[in-house]
Amino acid sequence: MGFIEYMTASSPAAGFGTLAWIFFLLQLSGVVAGAYFYYAHTERNLARYTFFRQVGLALLILSGVGLLAAILRLVGVPVISQRLWFWILLLVELAAAGYMTFYMRKVLPTLEKAQAGKRPVRAPQQRAAVAAADQPPPAPRPVATTGRRDARRERKKKK
């Protein structure tokens, strides 16, 4: 049996071996880590905050596809059960991990220095900024015709 036949042969669900279980667990942990980085992780530096959100989204997508492929293999879908898809997914994930490492070591430090002191904008602040941008500007205050002393006297008379 040649290499091509080995990679394209559909393995039955009973053939879900040790490597397949390791792959499945790695994909599951990737989805959990991606959800944490995307939804719960906070950073004070805006560059790192943006980087970790993007890492979380990439982990969610790549690990989600891998998890779906592993589940479909476990169920026994013939085309997805080919070993070729799992090796392709593994290579794509390794390439993404290499790029993330390069970005974190070479590009991110310069961005952190450039954006030092800027804080990331949180979702409630973003909504408030959008709501404030949609409202018309407030009317200008009228010029005071009386002094402060007179205004205080008027308030006391009303009570």
68-38-119 Cα angle (round to 5): 165
Question: pLDDT per residue over 4-61, tens digit each?
Answer: 776 666 665 446 778 888 988 999 999 999 999 999 988 888 888 999 999 999 999 9
Contact 47, 112 (CB under 8 A): yes
Contact 56, 38 (CB under 8 A): yes
Question: pLDDT per residue over 66-87, tens digit each?
Answer: 999 888 888 877 777 777 888 8
Q: How confident is the model at residue 98 (pLDDT cuts 50, 70, 90)?
A: very high
Query: Is pLDDT of 3 > 50?
Result: yes
Residue range 134-154: mean pLDDT, rounded: 74
| Rg of the chain on CA atoms, in Å | 29
The more confidently predicted of residues 127 and 35 is 35
Q: How confident is the model at residue 151 (pLDDT cuts 50, 70, 90)?
A: confident
Residue 92 confidence (pLDDT): 93
The token pair that represents 10 in the structure block? 């559909």
Task: Tell me how far apart the alpha carbons of residues 72 and 84 are, in angstroms, rounded to a whole number.
Answer: 14
pTM of the prediction?
0.65
